Amino acid sequence: MNLSAPPPHLDRLLQPATAHPRAWDLLRSLCDDVGARFPCTEGDVAAVAWAQEALGLAGLERVHAEPAEATLWHRGAESCSLLLPRQQSVALTALGGSVGTPEGGIEAEVIEFASLEALDAARPEEVAGKVVYLHHVMPRMRDGTGYNAASAVRMRGPSHAARKGALACLVRSVGTDSWRAAHTGALWYHAGAPQIPAAALAIPDAELLHRALAEGKRVRTVLALGCSPMPVGMSANVLGDIPGTDLGGEIVLLGAHLDSWDLGTGALDDGAGCAIAIEAARRIASLPARPRRTVRVVLFANEELGSGGGRAYASAHAAEAGRHVAALEADQGDGKPWALRVPAAMRESALARALHASLAPLGIELDPGVSRGGVDLAPLGHLGVPFVDLRQDVTRYFDFHHTANDVLDNVSRVEIEEATMAFSVAVWLLANAEESFSGVNQGEGTATRADIAAR
């Protein structure tokens, strides 16, 4: 393909699907007919079957499931109240992977810290025998980069608190809303640190606790979590290809994650990404010409609690990692893409310019940052696979992320179709251009779970 000329059939991919909003219809089916998709539950099994059918109906070939290890965990009953001094019930949810409280729960004084650094600086005798509360406020931002620091507090806070002798850890929900809907999310227990129960408070209740402590009140909490880690199980990645016509079997991968948390139906995280990937592939498969490179859609398992799907795919396909010339991931909800990122060494290349020119009609700018992929793609980055990022507008995404409000009613039909157009255009161009990003050392720009929002 001559990069100085408009890509063939680009005009068809840029036509909005206003009459038949297929991406939204796919998402409706996934949310309403399958529902929540926590690994190794009935919903997870149903989702794998749904995905195989959806990819087949979209015109992809070689559709199949591949085994992937899944981190299992049971939530159980959960409750919390604060003695202010009058007892008030508050809304909270356990963090994924947390151990439960002893039978009968925990009653203890609460001590607040504004950061992990402040907690680390505290004397052990200040913390021992208490419940640590971490008050970190996540800002609302279009690029979502405030998630970096906030998620680090959630993931690492329990072990930092445990090292100081805390009985349990509470965090302000990692979100930007003001509803009494707590945000779950994974934690990481550090090797060598005691494992203590951990949960997130809904933001209004976190603010209630923060105000009380700021006024100098001695606040006690009564906390009961029935959660428990479980043995590792097996889930599955679901793959489908649009076989390329030439270019040595090279592959452009478009991914999303099929699993979700158990609280909502995973409409935004990441049902929207699955719908975007499947519909973008369907639009490409329906064009009069096949792509020159193979377009592969991968719907990954177990992204939320362990990233087993990404690791399984990289392991199973390590021998063909060199044929993956680009990988993209849709995991920022339904947001309209606003920026393109490519490998830093190729930012001034003809391919980067062609990508930008093709996406510019959709209002997408070329971002100077390093492309970072997503959690599912990280293991491929360590194998040298280059990433291309379409940064989506997440201004409202973290209102619903990881909550019971992550449901279809909070998805924009207009924006999910705009995102689908952008991903289909980017994948089509990458699959047909003579030039590629192959050979770029991607590992240095690979995202981790702690800094994924910096994509």
211 pLDDT band (50/70/90 cuts)?
very high
Distance between CA atoms of residues 335 and 389, nearest Å: 14
Cα 156 from Cα 169, distance rounded (Å): 10
Asked if 122 and 206 sit in the same domain, the reply is yes
Written as one string, the DSSP assignment of 82-138 is: EESSSEEEE-EEEPBTPPPPPTT-EEEEEEEESSHHHHHHS-HHHHTTSEEEE--PP
Residues 239, 97, single domain; the answer is no
On whether both 192 and 280 belong to a single domain, the answer is: no
Domain extent, residue 65, equals: 10-72+231-454
In a domain, 3, yes or no: no
Structure confidence at residue 4 (pLDDT)? 57
Average pLDDT estimate for 328-354: 96
What pLDDT is recorded for position 7?
A: 67
Residue 441 has pLDDT above 80, yes or no: no
Q: Dump pLDDT digits (tens) for 43-77.
A: 999 999 999 999 999 999 999 999 999 999 999 99
> In 10 A of CB 87, how many CB atoms?
11
pLDDT of residue 452 exceeding 50: no
Q: Which of 78, 112, 279, 303 is catalytic?
A: 303
How many domains does one find in the chain? 2
Closest residue by Cα to residue 182 from 402, 373, 8: 402
Length of the chain equals 455
Residue 154: what pLDDT?
98
Residues 192 and 147 in one domain: yes
Q: What is the pLDDT of residue 91?
A: 98
Note the helical H segments in 215-364: 272-285, 308-316, 350-359
36 with 260: CB under 8 angstroms? yes
pLDDT tens, 94-148?
999 999 999 999 999 999 999 999 999 999 999 999 999 999 999 999 999 999 9
State both tokens at 11. Answer: 């005009």
| CA–CA separation, 29 and 137 (whole Å) | 35
Distances (CA, A) of 405 to 147, 303, 408, 435: 18, 19, 9, 43
- In the predicted model, what is the mean pLDDT of residues 410-427? 96
Give 381-416 pLDDT, tens digit per residue: 999 999 999 999 999 999 999 999 999 999 999 999
The pLDDT, as a whole number, for residue 1 is 57
Q: Is residue 211 situated within a structural domain?
A: yes
Q: Diameter of the chain by CA atoms? A: 72
Which residue among 228, 263, 294 closes a domain?
Answer: 228
257 and 304 part of one domain: yes
Which whole number is the average pLDDT over 13-19? 69
Sign of the CA dihedral with 371 first, then 377, 382, and 388 last: negative
DSSP SS3 for 228:
strand
What pLDDT digit, counting tens, does each position of 179-206 carry?
999 999 999 999 999 999 999 999 999 9
Asked if residue 4 is part of any domain, the answer here is no
**What's the confidence (pLDDT) of residue 8?**
74
Give the DSSP letter string of 161-197.
HHHTT-SEEEEE-SSS--SS-----B--PPTTS----
Q: Within 10 Å of residue 155's Cβ, how many Cβ atoms? A: 22
Say whether both 249 and 152 belong to one domain. no
Confidence of residue 215 (pLDDT cuts 50, 70, 90): very high
| Predicted local confidence at residue 70, as pLDDT | 96
Q: Minimal CA–CA distance to 46: which of 61, 58, 33?
A: 33
For the domain that residue 433 is a member of, what is the CATH number? Answer: 3.40.630.10
Q: How many CB atoms lie within 10 A of CB 61?
A: 12
pLDDT band, very low/low/confident/very high, at 18 (cuts 50, 70, 90): low
Tokens 């707590």 appear where? 182
More confident: 17 or 93: 93
Joined tokens for residue 139: 């800002």
> What mean pLDDT is predicted for residues 347-352?
94
**Same domain assignment for residues 142 and 190:** yes
Across the range 416-430, mean pLDDT stands at 96
- Residue 317 is encoded by which pair of tokens? 């396909």
% of residues, the chain, pLDDT over 90: 90
| Residue 56: CB atoms within 10 Å | 12
In a domain, 156, yes or no: yes
Whole-angstrom distance, CA of residue 72 vs CA of residue 179: 28
- Domain end marker among 228, 252, 275: 228
State the Cα–Cα distance between residues 186 and 188, nearest whole angstrom: 7
In this predicted model, what pLDDT tens digit does every residue of 260-305 receive, in sequence order?
999 999 999 999 999 999 999 999 999 999 999 999 999 999 999 9
Please indicate, yes or no, whether residues 116 and 161 belong to a single structural domain of this protein: yes
**39 within a domain of the structure (yes/no):** yes
Residue 14 pLDDT > 60: yes
- Interatomic CA distance for residues 90 and 87, integer angstroms: 10
Residues 161 and 273 in one domain: no
Question: What CATH number is attached to the domain comprising 171?
Answer: 3.50.30.30
Is 61 a known active-site residue?
Answer: no
Contacts of 243 (CB under 8 A, 6+ apart): 61, 62, 290, 294
Residue 436 has pLDDT above 70, yes or no: yes
Torsion of CA 264, 270, 275, 281, to 10 degrees: -160
DSSP letters, 26-72, are HHHHIIIII----TTSHHHHHHHHHHHHHHHHTT-EEEEEEEEEE--
How far is residue 12's CA from residue 59's CA, in Å, rounded to a whole number? 17
Instruction: Please identify, among 177, 195, 228, the residue that sits at the C-terminal boundary of a domain.
Output: 228
Indicate the helix (H) or strand (E) that contains 374.
none
State the pLDDT at residue 449.
46
- Rg of the Cα trace of the chain? 22
Q: 81 and 195, same structural domain?
A: yes
In a domain, 5, yes or no: no
pTM over 0.85, yes/no: yes
Other beta carbons within 10 angstroms of residue 26's beta carbon come to 25
- What does residue 63 show for φ and ψ, rounded to 5 degrees? -70, 130
Q: What is the mean pLDDT of residues 316-334?
A: 97
What DSSP element (H or E) covers 140? none
- Residue 3: band (very low, low, confident or very high) from pLDDT cuts 50, 70, 90: low
Q: Contact, 328 vs 384, CB < 8 A?
A: no
Shared-domain flag, residues 171 and 308: no
Mean pLDDT over the full length of the chain = 94
CA distance readout (Å), 280 to 220, 301, 325: 52, 20, 18
Does residue 169 fall inside a structural domain? yes
> Quick one: 19 and 55 in the same domain?
yes
- Answer yes or no: are the C-beta atoms of 174 and 150 closer than 8 Å: yes
Q: Residues 144-159: what's their mean pLDDT?
A: 96
